Structure 1
């Protein structure tokens, strides 16, 4: 089904965190939230589509010598380049259009010395807006569109071994409920003894209070790269889980590229006591992206499952990960919807062949009203059982947007959001998220594209990186 992009605009809203988020070499206290709105002709019908995402510090780029404001100049340039190159583009199918845009922008990113993650992210923002427009034009949902062939997905164009395969034959039924994996950042207080004000703005701050308020069973724990300190902190987290979670406790570790070689990483993992190795689901991106696929993890036979995250900026990243001994890779919408679908299908095919492969679902401090529901729509469509979410933890719900945005979101997603005084926040019940309204919406969000006009943003080209003070 033909698509032609007539115009694309990008706007930005500055969001400020209620508590700092420390991960890897970064500390996030504020960041821009970017909306992209596209006018698209779908088989002759003109419709609008919307997408959104964050530009967090030191994730797309991980250069310790630059400031966050300097990085944001580059991030903004990438998004604007994708919007500009998408305008006037067309394709015989949505998939063919996306693949052409990807192939067009990647060389631009190479010349500009953008990390592969950044070029892929810029493409993904426009990709999501066009997917939203397609679903609205065809009065369908993302789950149906992925499976019914209308998008023209050619899995073999991403993973050659899947040539001729169809997503409908490899993906299961979309999940209407997802287990939430709660992030424990490097600076997050674990107990009241760590934080004299455990409740902030009506939301819990300490891990103990979060577990009790949300009924959490799954955690994602950030590693600092200091093995001794990490072991002490993990033991404290396990003590919280023993007291407040019980035998249902599961967790993942996020290395955030803290290791440069396998030896020290292996020593750290071997030092984990049985009470920490037992509930460990997988270890995410422990090695720096510069060396992550240059190792041979098969030489570490008793390793836990290791998945790539920041190394997943190219279309062949999952195959490179498998070749290096990784169990799999992460999905985030910021890395692209079509790549996520192709990766899910490759993981499913490998598992059907008797291998043990993993596609995880991670977070980019995603928030509503558009980005989070769209991300959950993809996670549910791909059948991933649990997903990291932390935007509701580090930000006070939708309070960074004008009040009407919260009201519209509550009306569109009464199962996913709940009222919090003058705003709305994610509804986490028994450690899970109900995503029925997300699955029924065209592409995740039940709001119309004019939500961008209500969000209080400014044109991205005019937004100034000096508005944020994160490192």
Structure 2
């Protein structure tokens, strides 16, 4: 039997390489929340960690929301999940504990204005801490615990069509040892030196423009952000196609992320027609694997969307991301005509596992249809968050995964030196020491090695003491 006995939160403000704007607020650092989960397994105590950079814009699309208000909401949902977890009765499995906590948080959130994507984040933090505690207590890797049935994952609890299914029969037999990194290209990100203003050049020894990343990391996969303006997007896609051609990229792949920019499916279809009709964009469209979340989350799975998708014969593969807000959202998305969803630990570890099982079941039943489980997450960084996420996507073997935390931060220079040293020692396949002396992600030929994340309990194999940072109760936005 297992239970959560205590939790504690700590915050480390991580400084960006370059500022970004949230409304009229210029943000120069991002609070990184560490959650300590004290669990009990058959009378024995174990400690687990979860961590996440608090970035509210993705969770709540509200033009009136301030950055400070969004951060307060994120802390609120984590605090609720912590309290509910500590009050919950013992259960027989980690999966069962998570599922009960999820339902308790759903009931609590019904009396708040928090959308499911946000209140579910609070659950995911406790979930990750509990998974970590279980793996460390039993000295078992995430991949092994998942395939052996140790977590008690029951996909039929979410999707009746998976009743009695064993995840080990639907997931890859072994975790991936190497993942292709998919580099995100924001709509305003500089492509070459010509796109940098006179005062924008950084002097921190890391790539800044896309051209520099191509040279330094030999990237092959890219996630391109769309603005929702078809003409401007076509120009941007044409510029990228030209850059890739100039750089001699013979083989590359692209995904397009619309981030809810289109009002409805008809507008998305019209934009796609604009792209298809533009000869400068055609080379890039030929390499496009899928389009991610083109529609606003409230419009994404309407009857009108379903009708438009059903009548659109040459529609590109399309997946949901923000609309994957509830545990059973993928099933509704597939019924609406979508081709899959994204995995992010911040949406839920077990949700991603069950989604992978559902997609594989559908794939076997409909071998002529392509189904997509992508790996996404823009800003995850070490020492815990990135490595835990990599452990999950490697176990689900998504192939290529969005990873850009190393772009927004100066490596792991924000961490204490001793933590960086331990990461270099224990995760030398994933990190390298930069010439300037800090640990940074080691991307070679567009790929990262993940042996050291899949062979240890849950992603990371270093001692991290979050209590050296600011207790979340004492942390303030103004500070």
TM norm structure 1 = 0.95
Deviations 1:364-418 (A, max 9, x none): 4100000000000000000100000010001111112222221121112000011
Cα 1:428–1:439 change in 2 (3 A) is same
Structure 2 distance, partners of 1:25, 1:311, is 27
Structure 2 residue corresponding to 1:249, chosen from 252, 258, 263:
252
Structure 2 match to 1:276: 284
Question: How far is the alpha carbon of 1:466 from its aligned partner?
Answer: 3.1
* Residue of structure 1 aligned with 2:439, choices 424, 430, 435: 424
1:388 to 402, 407, 411: 402
Equivalent-residue separation in structure 2 for 1:65 and 1:267 (angstroms)? 29
Residues in 1 aligned to 2:478 and 2:244: alpha-carbon distance in whole angstroms: 40
Partner of 1:136: 136
Please tell me whether the aligned partners of residues 349 and 392 of structure 2 are also in contact (alpha carbons under 8 angstroms).
yes
Q: How does 1:159-238 map to 2 (within 5 A)?
A: 159-172=159-172, 173-195=174-196, 196=198, 200-238=203-241
1:268-325 deviations in whole A, cap 9, x for unaligned? 1112242121000110011011111112122222111111001111011101110111
The offset of 1:200, in angstroms, is 3.6
Per-residue CA deviations over 1:313-364 (Å, capped at 9, x if unaligned) read: 1011101110111100000000000000000111111111213110001014
Larger RCO (CA under 8 A, 6+ residues apart): 1
Cα separation, partners in 2 of 1:444 and 1:175, compared to 1, 3 Å? same
C-alpha spacing 1:187/1:26, structure 2 compared with 1 (3 Å): farther
Whether the 8 Å CA contact 2:231–2:274 is kept in 1: the answer is no
Q: 1:431 to 1:199 in 2, by over 3 A?
A: farther
SS at match of 1:40: strand
Provide closer, same or farther for how the CA distance between residues 152 and 26 of structure 1 changes in structure 2, counting only shifts above 3 A: farther
| Distance in 2 (alpha carbons) for counterparts of 1:25 and 1:328 | 35
Match of 2:16, SS? Answer: strand
SS in 2 for 1:203: coil
**1:410-458, Cα deviation, whole Å (9 max, x unpaired):** 112000011122321111000001000001110001123x4323xx521
1:402 to 410, 416, 419: 416
Structure 1 moving runs of 4+ over 2 Å: 19-30, 196-200
Is 1:31–1:57's contact at 8 Å kept on the other side of the alignment? no
Q: How many Å separate the matches in 2 of 1:145 and 1:180?
A: 26
Tell me if the contact between 1:198 and 1:206 (Cα under 8 Å) persists in the aligned partners.
no
**Distance change (3 Å), C-alpha of 1:255 and 1:29:** farther
Q: CA RMSD in A?
A: 1.8
**2:278 is matched with which residue?**
none
**Cα distance between partner residues in 2 of 1:357 and 1:261:** 22
**In structure 1, how many angstroms separate the alpha carbons of the residues matched to 2:155 and 2:289?**
28
CA distance 1:200–1:319, shift in 2 (3 Å): farther
SS at match of 1:405: helix
Map 1:21-420; keep pairs closer than 5 Å: 29-89=28-88, 90-172=90-172, 173-195=174-196, 196=198, 200-244=203-247, 246-272=249-275, 273-294=281-302, 295-296=305-306, 297-353=309-365, 354=367, 355-420=369-434
Contact 1:24–1:224 (Cα < 8 Å) also in 2: no
Q: Secondary structure at the match of 2:8?
A: strand
Q: Deviations over 1:249-280 (max 9, x none)?
A: 11111101111111221111112242121000
Structure 1 distance, partners of 2:376, 2:26, is 18
Number of aligned positions between the proteins = 463
- Mapped to 2, the partners of 1:118 and 1:153 lie a distance apart of 23
Kindly indicate whether the alpha-carbon contact (under 8 Å) linking 1:22 and 1:185 is maintained by their aligned counterparts in 2: no
Counterpart contact for 1:417–1:426, Cα < 8 Å: yes
- Residue 88 (structure 1) shift: 4.1
Task: Tell me the CA shift for residue 72 of structure 1.
Answer: 1.2
- Tell me how far apart the structure 1 counterparts of residues 211 and 202 of structure 2 sit (CA, whole Å): 11
Asked if structure 2 preserves the Cα contact closer than 8 Å seen for 1:95 and 1:338, the reply is yes
Deviation at 1:17, TM superposition (A): 1.2
Q: Deviations over 1:200-259 (max 9, x none)?
A: 411100000011111100000111112111111111111121122522111111101111
In the aligned structure 2, how far is the partner of 1:369 from the partner of 1:221? Answer: 27
What's the CA shift for 1:124?
Answer: 0.5
